[in-house]
A and B are shown apart, each in its own frame.
Chain A
């Protein structure tokens, strides 16, 4: 068991009010991240991964509303903080990395100008020292010619380089937690390997915790200590990484693991999960996975099952396991 929680998300609920109706993007989600722990959230597109991470930082789009829950970070509820307090925390104690580095960088400022800003603001470094530190960071991230790069503009760099710069900015003030939302999804595999390597090094050297969001079960297996599987805005299963891969329980988790082709496997056909994810504005009272589930029972159509612990730290939301858990 890892040390006590650095971040604790409790009963988080975020909804969007749209013409179609209420989109329950994050539907009563709870989990925690320990010191120096890497927690991965995995699931298909639209299941609420990004909105979960954005809710933590009060960064959700305007039509969205956080309607319930607590996000405790180092003893304080982030959801009760003012925008100003949150902004201070962000870039100081919590660093964020997104899928598209271009969306977080300003095209009219040089890399250097954007890197020194948080260093001056949060670490109160002089301009000169901030530049020096920025250059060190660039070198640390394996980018050659830091003195040249620092004066370049974002569009002059490749996606892989920009993502490294984003990591540089995220770690520049020695954060305790890094939130990375699909940081390698837009990158080629050889570049992804570089970035994952850097994240692992950072964790070791700076003792940070990481919340890593991805849809790639391969990335999860390599990076995670603890895994959260989301489906239709809900956590359907969560557990330590070894457990999740050797003893997956939820039919959806099992299906995801079986549906992915593996190198060296060479099967005739792939396992498929029939159908598609439900519309989050039209959720019924059944288990949200019911219309795609091979094991559906009568009870599954009555109510979405609650998340229940089946072994140490391993919980699943499925009626197939309720008997066992109660036993």
Chain B
């Protein structure tokens, strides 16, 4: 029987944008505009979409790193936004966030061993006596050597720094990790090392992830369930197998066809989308994808397509599926 870890219902996050001295109105950026999904224990839930589609905002909102505008987030049944201070502290241990740029999240003046150990002691997961041993243990799990503990962040390559940040997150023995583009800045050979590390940690520690990425091939390799986002909404969501074997939404199909295949023998029809992603301040009426959709009709401008189950736990929002 599967156990629900995270439940997100109709989540909205609008930022107020009073950018520019000429804009009189206080317009809002509809960064996340009503998304719902659940993550079961053991899932690696992939969140895919182009830049600005709201992926990072979802990641930060579900961890309550900032406020929501509307909707509900439950972690193990508890409403994350009504936790009292003590329970919030517990949430900060059970859930961890790893970013794309590991350098910005590491203090340059703190040795990496201390950076990893600090939070362990602070949260009572280690004592001053055994912290060193525990740090070295978690570093080893993440592919780092003992001598690395006494070095400073700038002495490491990008891939190693990402390992350090992962080790620091793992040190708290979390149940749930939000990974925001954790391999996007890494070279292929290093990316493969880190991806394998994620798979191992999941198997060994029974971790669940929200894995944010714009790279469909990485997501297919690692994730069990996938949601495709466009302008603040999930347009399609299904198991990995369903999504890749039977993509339904025109945007998903276009995204898939846009990924260059590293084999010169493969020639295929590519769906080239016209234009850019519209602004989330003034998204198009009806279906937000209609300005770039190759099969849009008048109906698409008038009516918002319902996000519905089309069978096999495969959800999509399009009038013509």
Chain B residues near A44 (CB, 8 Å)? 187-190
Out of A144, A218, A267, which one reaches B261, CB within 8 Å? A218
B299 at the interface (CB under 8 A from A): no
The CA-CA distance from A38 to B262 in the complex, in Å, is: 16
How many Å from the CB of A107 to the closest CB on chain B? 15
Interface mask (A290-309 → B, CB under 8 Å = 1, otherwise 0): 00000000000000000000
A188 to chain B, nearest CB (A): 4
Q: Most A CB atoms within 10 A — which of B199, B221, B277? A: B221
Measured between C-beta atoms, what is the minimum distance from A40 to chain B in Å?
11
Query: Is B91's CB within 8 Å of the partner chain A?
Result: no
Q: Mark A143-177, 1 if CB is under 8 A from B, else 0.
A: 01000000000000010110000000000000000
Q: What is the CA–CA distance of A142 and B273 in the complex, to the nearest angstrom?
A: 11
Smallest CB separation, A319 vs chain B (Å): 21
Distance between A29 CB and nearest chain B CB, rounded to angstroms: 20
Question: Which of B191, B255, B263 is A189 in contact with, Cβ under 8 Å?
Answer: B255
Specify which of A158, A188, A218 is in contact with B260 (CB 8 Å cutoff).
Answer: A218
The digit string for B267-309, where 1 denotes a CB below 8 A from any CB of A, is: 0001011111100000000000000100000000000000000
Q: Which residue of B lies closest to A270 (CB)?
A: B192
A residues less than 8 Å from B266 (CB atoms): 221
B88 within 8 A of A: no
Chain B residue contacts of A74, Cβ below 8 A: none
Looking at A13-21, A85-93, A115-123, A251-259, the stretch in contact with chain B turns out to be A251-259
Stretch of B127-135, B168-176, B212-220 that contacts chain A: B212-220
Residues of chain A contacted by B217 (CB below 8 angstroms): 260-263
Q: How far is the CB of B129 from chain A (nearest CB, A)?
A: 34
Given A160-B276, A190-B50, A242-B188 contact (CB < 8 Å): no
In Å, the complex CA distance between A173 and B217 comes to: 39
Question: With A161-B276, A263-B220 known to touch, is A242 a contact of B192 (CB < 8 Å)?
Answer: no
Beta-carbon contact of B260 and A264 below 8 Å: no
Docked complex Cα distance between A14 and B218 (Å): 35
Chain A CB within 8 A of B196 CB: yes
A199, CB-defined interface residue at 8 Å: no
Residues of A within 8 A of B274 (CB): 142
Q: Taking the nearest CB of chain B, how far is it from the CB of A248, in angstroms? A: 11
Are B272 and A263 in touch, CB under 8 angstroms? no
The size of the chain B interface, using a CB distance under 8 A, is 43
Evaluate contact between A193 and B270: CB separation under 8 angstroms. yes
**Given A158-B276, A221-B260, A272-B189: A263 and B196 interface contact (C-beta under 8 Å):** no
B264 and A189 contact, CB distance less than 8 A = no
Q: A45-B187, A217-B188, A256-B188 are in contact. Are A266 and B258 (CB under 8 A)?
A: no
Q: What is the 8 Å Cβ interface bit string for chain A, positions 17-45, against chain B (1 contact, 0 not)?
A: 00000000000000000000000000011
The residue on A at minimum CB distance from B241 is A266
A106 within 8 A of B: no
B53 to chain A minimum Cβ distance, whole angstroms, is: 9
| Nearest CB of chain B from residue A99's CB, rounded to whole Å | 14
Residue with the greatest number of chain B CB neighbours at <10 A, chosen from A45, A271, A274: A45
Q: A188-B50, A190-B273, A272-B196 are in contact. Are A262 and B255 (CB under 8 A)?
A: no
CA distance A197 to B272 in the complex (A): 9
**A297 → chain B closest CB, angstroms:** 21
Closest to A245 in B: B264
B29 close to A (CB within 8 Å): no
A256 to B190, CA, bound (A): 10
Given contacts A215-B187, A217-B188, A273-B192, contact A266 B221 (CB under 8 A): yes
Given contacts A188-B50, A189-B50, A256-B189, contact A222 B260 (CB under 8 A): yes
Interchain CB contact under 8 A, A193 and B188: no
Minimal Cβ-Cβ distance residue in B for A218: B260
A218 touches B189 (CB 8 A): no
Question: Is A103 among interface residues, defined by CB-CB distance under 8 A?
Answer: no
Partner pick for A220 among B159, B254, B262, B292, CB 8 A cutoff: B262
* B residues less than 8 Å from A158 (CB atoms): 276
A45 to B266 alpha-carbon distance, docked (Å) = 27
Q: Are A190 and B244 in contact (CB under 8 A)?
A: no
The B79-138 residues at the A interface (CB cut-off 8 A) are: none
User: B51 in the interface, Cβ–Cβ < 8 Å?
Assistant: yes
Nearest-neighbour CB distance to chain A for B44, whole angstroms, equals 13
B201 at interface, CB cutoff 8 A: no
Residue-wise interface mask of A (216-246) relative to B, using a CB-CB cutoff of 8 A (1 in contact, 0 not): 1111111010000000000000000110011
In the complex, A82 has a CB within 8 A of chain B:
no
Choose among B192, B255, B261, B274 the residue with the greatest number of A CB atoms under 10 Å from its CB.
Answer: B192
Can you offer 20 A-B residue contacts whose CB atoms are under 8 A?
A: A44-B188, A142-B274, A158-B276, A189-B214, A190-B255, A190-B273, A191-B50, A197-B270, A197-B272, A215-B188, A218-B259, A218-B262, A220-B262, A241-B264, A242-B265, A256-B188, A259-B191, A262-B261, A266-B220, A272-B189
Given A190-B272, A221-B264, list of 17 further CB < 8 A pairs? A189-B259, A191-B50, A218-B259, A218-B260, A218-B261, A222-B261, A261-B195, A261-B218, A262-B262, A263-B256, A263-B259, A263-B261, A264-B220, A264-B244, A265-B221, A272-B192, A272-B196
